[in-house]
Amino acid sequence: MDTVPLVGRIACGEPITAEENLEGYVSVPSAWRATFTLECEGDSMEPTIHDGDLVAIRKDVRIENGQIAAVRIGDEATLKHLYLHDDYIELRPENPTYASIIRRKEEMNDVSIEGKAVGLCRGL
């Protein structure tokens, strides 16, 4: 097991203001090679990720289309399936009641990928 920081919350719904504040530390499997964890808020990634789950993120890795990523849009952050296209970025929720977030042209400059979701911690 590795101990990594819990650095705040991330939206699983509409993006929320990204505030990275150290809230404590979490033990996660070493095989995940996680950099930090975030607490999820919302239901846009259900049924896989639920409100209150902790998601482990690995920074600085290649993210393939369709994988789940922590993404910053300006000062806001969200957790979505990421699809990179030549002329736009799509952040797709898993829950079909939510619409994708699409950024085209200059809007793409506000998007930064914080890392790939590599693990999930949930209480019973």
Active site residues: 44, 80
Measured in degrees and rounded to the nearest 5, phi and psi for residue 107 equal -60, -25
Contact (CB, 8 A) for 20 and 8: yes
First-residue to last-residue Cα distance in the chain: 20
CA distances from 6 to 33, 40, 41, 97, 102 (A): 15, 11, 14, 29, 28
